[in-house]
């Protein structure tokens, strides 16, 4: 892909996407009842809720109360140290074994990906892993010419196809209050423990 054409395509796409997102968000907030709440069936806004929860934790409750010495989440603070130290041994291992699989290990990327776990689902990561392995390892190693010529276009096609199908499903099912086609991939009761609390619920009688 010519660099100039790629630059203008990304620039125009960013401008158009920003305007469409803003207009769509305003329209949804005005037209949908109980939007971004648990009462909403289709628009619970998981990313916005996660961001709001983080804002409450750091701004209202306070980090000392959430991650202080007496908090149950105190051990999370050690991940700051782990994130600082963990890339160092891999750096020297790559120097010691330059042609090994270690050259594909990128600790900051791996750790940064975990930051999307609160709103993301498990299938998001499995899909990313499968597609990434197929194109960035298999195709790049065994079909380098094909990878160089088509991978960027294929990535754009995946993004465009996903966005198109989201819009199509929205206008066919969501906005018309129609039931989504039911199959095993759309069921939310695959796990019998889904929705259960992480810790046992203590009743008044047990107290």
- Rounded CA-CA distance 65/47 in Å is 24
- Rounded CA-CA distance 207/196 in Å is 20
Torsions phi, psi for 56 (to 5 deg): -65, -40
Q: What percent of the chain has pLDDT over 70?
A: 82
- Rounded CA-CA distance 70/177 in Å is 48
**What is the pLDDT confidence band of residue 158, given thresholds at 50, 70 and 90?**
confident
- Residue 197 confidence (pLDDT): 53
Q: What percent of the chain has pLDDT over 90?
A: 11
pTM, to two decimals: 0.49
**What is the pLDDT confidence band of residue 19, given thresholds at 50, 70 and 90?**
very high
DSSP per residue over 105-165, as a string?
--HHHHHHHGGGTTTS-HHHHHHHHHHHHIIIIIIHHH-HHHHHHHHHHHHHHHHHHHHHH
């Amino acid at each position: 892909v010519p660099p100039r054409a790629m630059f203008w395509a990304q620039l125009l796409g960013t401008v158009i996407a920003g305007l469409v997102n803003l207009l769509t968000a305003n329209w949804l907030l005005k037209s949908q009842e109980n939007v971004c709440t648990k009462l909403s069936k289709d628009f619970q806004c998981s990313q916005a809720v996660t961001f709001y929860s983080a804002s409450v934790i750091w701004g209202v409750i306070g980090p000392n109360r959430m991650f202080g010495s007496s908090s149950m989440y105190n051990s999370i603070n050690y991940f700051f140290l782990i994130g600082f130290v963990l890339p160092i041994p891999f750096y020297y291992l790559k120097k010691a074994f330059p042609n090994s699989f270690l050259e594909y290990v990128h600790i900051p990327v791996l750790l940064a990906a975990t930051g999307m776990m609160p709103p993301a689902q498990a299938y998001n990561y499995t899909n990313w892993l499968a597609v990434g392995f197929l194109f960035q390892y298999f195709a790049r190693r065994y079909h380098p010419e094909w990878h160089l010529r088509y991978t960027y276009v294929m990535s754009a096609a995946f993004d465009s196809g996903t966005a198109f199908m989201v819009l199509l499903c929205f206008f066919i099912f969501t906005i018309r209050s129609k039931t989504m086609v039911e199959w095993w991939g759309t069921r939310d009761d695959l796990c019998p423990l889904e929705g259960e609390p992480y810790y046992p619920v203590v009743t008044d009688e047990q107290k």
